[in-house]
Amino acid sequence: MMFLWDWLTAALSYLGLYHKKGKLVFLGLDNAGKTSLLNRLKFGTMATPHPTGQPHCEELQIADMTFRTHDLGGHKQARRVWREYLPAVDAVVFILDVSDPGRFREAQKELQGLLKDELTSGVPLLILGNKIDDPRAAGEFQLRTAFGLHGLTTGKETASLPEGRRAMELFMCSVKEKQGYGKAFRWLAQHF
């Protein structure tokens, strides 16, 4: 069985993405899974993190790609500083907790603000619907409807886009069960 790192390394090698560097920001409401995903990608482990009190930075290396990732936290106070990290960002990863429909409106407001922000208008936006392993989880169609994503996303298999079109796609995943985010990051690598 290949480990996630081996699998991502092979995929990035196949895509010819060597010696690339970039800045990613992980955004989303508190308890969506941003820090858990970062720990899973960096260390391959699933630890139950404490709520992110302050923004922190980690460097991820996959094959010959180096990502400087910023986990900015998702509580109301932390969201006020998100914009300070957006200049010169190469991609945004927005994580949603699909098991908590009571917070969809709040998350949708933050996502809409991000979509309207000129600092990120040209960068790829990967939306991860996390916690699909939870029995209360919303499905992909329900999520696309709740967040107004129908017609906005660009396709999971699309490698090239028309000039001026932002790459944006929703992938359903479970960080806990190691499902779905590998394909999502392969998609992101194509548009990075």
pLDDT at position 18: 46
- CATH architecture for segment(s) 4-191: 3-Layer(aba) Sandwich (3.40)
Helix (H) or strand (E) holding 97: strand 91-97
CA distance 88 to 80: 18
Is residue 133 within 8 Å of residue 177, measured between CB atoms? yes
**Alpha helices by DSSP H, the chain:** 4-15, 34-43, 76-79, 104-116, 140-146, 181-191
**How far apart (Å, rounded) are the C-alpha atoms in residues 61 and 49?**
22
- CA dihedral sign of residues 160, 162, 167, 170: negative
The pLDDT value given to residue 76: 62
pLDDT score at 115: 92
Residue ranges for the binding site for GTP? 28-35, 74, 130-133, 175
Cα(72)–Cα(79) distance, integer angstroms: 8
Per-residue pLDDT tens over the stretch 139-159: 999 999 999 999 999 999 877
- The DSSP symbol for 147 reads T
The whole-angstrom separation of Cα 187 and Cα 192 is: 9
Annotated binding site for Mg(2+): 30, 35, 52
> Nearest-CA neighbor of 173 among 6, 43, 4?
4
State how far the Cα of 23 lies from the Cα of 135, in Å rounded to an integer.
34
- Please give the pLDDT value at position 54: 57
Going from N- to C-terminal start, the domains of the chain cover: 4-191
Annotated binding residues, as ranges?
28-35, 52, 74, 130-133, 175
Per-residue pLDDT of the chain (192 residues; tens, 9 = 90+): 445 555 555 554 554 444 567 788 888 898 899 888 888 888 887 765 655 555 556 677 655 567 666 565 655 665 465 566 667 788 899 999 999 999 999 999 999 998 998 888 889 999 999 999 999 999 999 999 999 999 999 999 877 888 888 999 999 999 999 999 989 988 888 887
Task: Identify the residue whose tokens are 């709520």.
Answer: 51
Q: Facing residues of 25 across strands?
A: 70, 92
Look up the pTM and report it.
0.80
